């Protein structure tokens, strides 16, 4: 068994990606994001790390499953045709592949994530 330790959410061990991720498209405000990929499996289908975003909204379509734990901030997610759902610091949740809607960062958010590529 391999156990891997990486940085903490307030001190990641890698440099961040500072460009918006390809499938995230700003639609309101001027949101900015940073992504720290702390670990990626050899086949590239499992990623873990940290993510930060400033207030604003993105249109996003998930083709992956993502486990999220929010350390800071507040977000509202609205899957097309569904009621909005809000999450704040301390919440843990999963976004499944197929989510197609709006990610609105209400307050600057920092999260830990684990992504499984389908």
Q: What is the CATH number of the domain that holds 94?
A: 2.60.120.10
Does the residue 67 lie in any domain?
Answer: yes
Does the residue 63 lie in any domain?
Answer: yes
Does the residue 16 lie in any domain?
Answer: no
Cα three-residue angle 26-81-118, rounded to 5 degrees = 70
pLDDT at position 1, please? 57
Please determine, for residue 2, whether its predicted confidence score (pLDDT) is greater than 90: no
Does the residue 61 lie in any domain?
Answer: yes
Does the residue 48 lie in any domain?
Answer: yes
* Domain count along the chain: 1
Of the chain, the percentage scoring pLDDT greater than 90 comes to 85
Pair 34, 16: CB distance under 8 Å:
yes
CA 28 – CA 58 distance, rounded (Å) = 7
Does the residue 7 lie in any domain?
Answer: no
Residues 95-115: tens digit of each pLDDT: 999 999 999 999 999 999 999
pTM: 0.91
| Phi/psi at 44 (5° precision) | 75, 10
């Amino acid at each position: 068994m391999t156990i891997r330790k990486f940085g903490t959410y307030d001190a990641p061990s890698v440099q961040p990606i500072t460009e918006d991720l390809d499938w995230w498209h700003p639609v309101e405000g001027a949101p900015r994001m940073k992504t720290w990929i702390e670990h990626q499996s050899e086949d590239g289908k499992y990623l873990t790390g940290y993510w930060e975003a400033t207030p604003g909204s993105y249109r996003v379509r998930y083709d992956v499953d993502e486990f999220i734990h929010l350390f800071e901030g507040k977000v509202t997610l609205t899957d097309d045709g569904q009621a909005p759902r809000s999450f704040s610091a301390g919440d843990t949740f999963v976004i499944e592949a197929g989510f197609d809607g709006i990610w609105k960062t209400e307050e600057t958010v920092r999260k830990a994530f684990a992504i499984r590529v389908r």
